[in-house]
Amino acid sequence: MPLFNLKINGSRHTVDVDPGTPLLWALRDHLELVGTKYGCGIAQCGACTVHVDGAATRACAMPVSAVGERAVTTIEGLSANGDHPVQRAWLQHDVAQCGYCQAGQIMTAAALLNTNPQPSDAEIESAMNGNICRCGTYLRIKAAIRTAAGSA
Ligand code: FES
Ligand code: FES
């Protein structure tokens, strides 16, 4: 199989996988970056969200061969000590319930604030719309994003 040299969380990693392998499985099964979760596998739930060149991206729907030289950031690489403003706000609001969806929620929220540091409620709802939470933590997610944006 071909080798793919990926830029992940600031380091180079080589994976030996079929070109069509979803990035999600390269991360989880080959690089042990298991913070990124598998939910639906069809780009419908957001559990697998990572950043690709800063944009929120569904890792289950991106083949490894499509990543190229773009920089991938996973929840493990979002901050050095779990202290990204979004992560701090998540703790402050005690957002997580079971936690399964939360890495994806945080990555989507962080990508939103990177491009729009002061989003309106409508912009938060629009950006977070594709991230499903079976525990229904949506109100706390929204509050935490407002806090992270400094607009609470
Ligand atoms: S697992 Fe990728 S969007 Fe659901
Ligand atoms: S916290 Fe349980 S699925 Fe979101």
Q: Cα 17 to the chain's mean position, in Å?
A: 22
Q: How far is the CA of 43 from the centre of ligand 2 (A)?
A: 17
Considering the domain architecture, whether residues 98 and 68 belong to the same structural domain is answered as no
Considering the domain architecture, whether residues 52 and 113 belong to the same structural domain is answered as no
Considering the domain architecture, whether residues 60 and 114 belong to the same structural domain is answered as no
Please list, in sequence order, all residues whose beta carbon lies within 8 angstroms of the beta carbon of residue 128, skipping any fewer than 6 positions away. Answer: 105, 108, 109, 112, 138, 141, 142, 145
Residue ending a domain, among 60, 77, 94, is: 77
Give the domain range for residue 92: 85-148
Residue ending a domain, among 61, 77, 93, is: 77
Domain count, the chain: 2
- Pick the atom of ligand 2 nearest to 105's CA: 4
Considering the domain architecture, whether residues 16 and 40 belong to the same structural domain is answered as yes
Considering the domain architecture, whether residues 90 and 73 belong to the same structural domain is answered as no
> Model pTM greater than 0.85?
yes
Helix (H) or strand (E) holding 115: helix 102-115
Q: How far is the CA of 96 from the centre of ligand 2 (A)?
A: 6
Residue ending a domain, among 25, 50, 77, is: 77
Say how far apart CA 89 and CA 79 lie, in whole Å: 14
Q: Give the CATH number, domain containing residue 114.
A: 1.10.150.120
Helix (H) or strand (E) holding 125: helix 121-128
One digit per residue, the tens of pLDDT, for the chain of length 152 reads 789 999 999 999 999 999 999 999 999 999 999 999 999 999 999 999 999 999 999 999 999 999 999 999 999 999 999 999 999 999 999 999 999 999 999 999 999 999 999 999 999 999 999 999 999 999 999 999 999 998 55
Considering the domain architecture, whether residues 91 and 139 belong to the same structural domain is answered as yes
62-83: string of b/e by CB count within 10 Å (b at 16+)?
bebeebeeeebbbbbbbeeeee
Collapsed DSSP state (helix, strand, coil) of residue 56? strand
**CB-defined site of ligand 1, < 6 Å:** 38-41, 43-48, 58, 60
Task: Determine contact, residues 41/58, Cβ cutoff 8 Å.
Answer: no
Considering the domain architecture, whether residues 70 and 90 belong to the same structural domain is answered as no
Ligand 2 proximity of 134 Cβ (cutoff 6 Å): yes
Integer angstrom CA distances of residue 23 from 18, 84, 143: 11, 23, 31
